[in-house]
Amino acid sequence: MAKDTVRYPDDVVEEIDALVEDGMFESKSEFYRFSAEYVLTLINPDHEAETFNFDEIKAELDIDDEVHARALGADGGTFFLDAVINVRKHGLRGDYEAAERFIDTHYESTDQECIILEELLGTYRTRS
């Protein structure tokens, strides 16, 4: 299993810590693994999650289609999906700075979408 270092805003880490303390997730690592896999399933319906107990965690969180729709945003995910494609394109080409500029100019650092895009970009960095 690969190890990846990612920076998150302090407020985000505090919320994740609270979820772990409340027992919603066994550990921060479980949260991060589940979150990354969950986003991948949103982006690619054919993605098969490899995270241990992914389906059980998803069921415990009671995530349904309405939650998926809200995660994509009021525009049905069109802009966000375009952003994912843009970040993916730059990531595949190794042009990480261009992807970072795109994210920074379109999102606030604490936006949910920003965090997801940064996580996606991180996957391309680890591949190189």
**Predicted local distance difference test score (pLDDT) of residue 8:** 85
Whether the Cβ atoms of residue 41 and residue 49 lie closer than 8 Å to each other: yes
pLDDT along the chain (128 residues), means of 10: 83 93 92 88 82 85 68 62 90 94 91 92 85
With 0-12 / 13-18 / 19 or more C-beta atoms within 10 angstroms meaning exposed / middle / buried, residue 16 is middle
**Which two three-digit tokens encode residue 31?**
């949260």
What is residue 93's predicted lDDT score, i.e. its pLDDT?
93
DSSP code, position 101? H
* Alpha carbon distance 49, 51 (integer Å): 6
Residue found under tokens 């303390």: 21
pLDDT at position 46, please?
A: 82
pTM, 2 dp: 0.52
Q: What pLDDT is attached to residue 68? A: 63
What six digits make up the tokens of 75?
Answer: 């525009």
